[in-house]
Amino acid sequence: MGHAGLRWLDRILLSVLAGLVTLYIWYAAEHVRLLLSFPFPLDYGEGPLLAQVRHLTDRYDLHQLYADPSRAPFLIVNYPPLFLLLSAGLTVLIGMPLVAGRLIALAAAIAATAALAALIGRRGAWLALLWLAVPVVREWMPLMRVDLLGVALGLWAVWVADNDRLPPVWRGALAGGLAVGCLLTKPSLIAGPLAVATIFLAEWIRLRPQPEPHARYALLTFLATATLAGGGIVAALAWATQGWFLIHVIAANANRWEADLALGFWRQQLTLRWPLAIAALLGGAIVWRTERRKMLLPALTYTLAGTLGAIGVGKVGAYANYFFEWYAGLIWLCGLGWSTLTAVNQRRSVRSLAMSSLLILSLLYYPPLWDANRLRPAGLIEPSPPRLAFGQYGLWADVRREADVLAALTRTGMALAREARTAGPVIFTDVPGLASGAGVTARIPVFEFRQLLDQGLADQTT
């Protein structure tokens, strides 16, 4: 194919890719619009977080949340307190704890997109928008869940660590603080902190023969910040709660891991997004063959750590949110490959056309969020095959279905809330969102409490 033909093919593929990305952004925006006006917890995990934030803004101090769960307020707090504190602070301003938590998650999703754009660089920054097209990102970005905040903090920690224009001490301290924030949001989000440590260690090894100690200062400041700030906060919380903080965050999270469950999740993700994984491999190979290969170290470290973290999806009760860091790493590698091709003026090469084609393929199909016939998520009980992003079962059909489902769930939620309030200020339910959505207390967090019961760390016999 001649130069003119390649140019036209490149323009066509780029237009199709941009159109698909725009369609997915609209899809995500509609999901956000619908969820921000839905007045009850939708996802299972929203229920406990809503109850925790309400208690925190009511009459309980932070250390009282991480207490014996067999006593009032009967909570098991699976995560460190950063998300709770931010949600409580915003709740004081707007008076709506569920909306506050959802807004923080939404802001975190956007911040993670911006961080990916900054890490990729100007020439390929727009590919960071692929993050908003990842099914689980789109699903969770308006939900009151902690994960996206941790991912955003981890990605920005990597950007700070890799920004050598900052003074070394400030760079180490700020990257360390962001990494600690990531881990104090969700301790299993290890990709960002590990990538930061790799950047500082590699820089110290590379510059060790030079007389200027800048790299050593940055590394030592990072280690000191991470150790003193992170360790100090954990130690203080453990002391203030008489050890219950560690039981809540560690022991209550010790769910059974099942290989079949993990394989099922991995099979689902790879079936849907295998072209993105291949595009990431191609992007990494493109960068490796140029003088820009040192850019690969943090991206590869992040992606590999995200892959290890995603193996945890086999934990009973886990969901596709365990793939957040893995997807971020894949998009980062794709963006680096794209920006490298642009920098070396090979945007119309065969490799560039292959990259565009793979990214288009990765967006052609999507998993519908809602069951077509029942008021429940698609695939919850029976399989729900991926659908073309356009056509009879396309993205706009899923948006219409979501509007209908949420309208019906609003009516049923109001009826259930009336029953819960009538039953009293403390009720028994295995659906925590039912209690917290009605503003009453659930006597036992069934799923979370099971881990402590099995380990003999708590009981409710009194």
Model confidence at 2, pLDDT cuts 50, 70, 90, reads low
Instruction: Indicate the pairing of strand 387-388 with strand 441-442.
Output: unpaired
Residue 441, amino acid: T
> Per the structure block, which two tokens stand in for 250?
């560690």
Helix (H) or strand (E) holding 186: none
The strand pairing partners of 366, in sequence order, are 387
Task: Please give the Cα distance from 334 to 345 (Å, whole number).
Answer: 17
Nearest-10 crossing angle of helices 395-423, 3-36: 20
pTM, 2 dp: 0.95
Q: Where are the domains of the chain?
A: 3-455
Task: Please give the Cα distance from 116 to 113 (Å, whole number).
Answer: 5
> Per the structure block, which two tokens stand in for 138?
């789109």
Helix, strand or coil for residue 290? coil
What was the pLDDT predicted at 19? Answer: 96
> Per the structure block, which two tokens stand in for 359?
């990214």
- Greater confidence (115 vs 63) lies with 115
Checking if the pLDDT of 326 tops 90, the result is yes
What was the pLDDT predicted at 428? Answer: 85
Q: Is the peptide bond before 385 cis (omega within 30 degrees of 0)?
A: no
Checking if the pLDDT of 103 tops 90, the result is yes
What was the pLDDT predicted at 222? Answer: 96
Over residues 377-387, the mean pLDDT reads 75
What was the pLDDT predicted at 73? Answer: 85
Over residues 118-130, the mean pLDDT reads 95
**Over the chain, what is the mean pLDDT?**
91
- Greater confidence (374 vs 122) lies with 122
Q: Which of 329, 313, 331 is nearest to 321 (CA)?
A: 313
Checking if the pLDDT of 375 tops 90, the result is no
pLDDT in tens, 248-258: 999 888 788 88
Checking if the pLDDT of 338 tops 70, the result is yes
pLDDT in tens, 212-246: 678 889 999 999 999 999 999 999 999 999 999 99
Task: Please give the Cα distance from 265 to 309 (Å, whole number).
Answer: 13
- Greater confidence (72 vs 296) lies with 296
What was the pLDDT predicted at 371? Answer: 85
Q: Which of 289, 359, 342, 354 is nearest to 6 (CA)?
A: 354
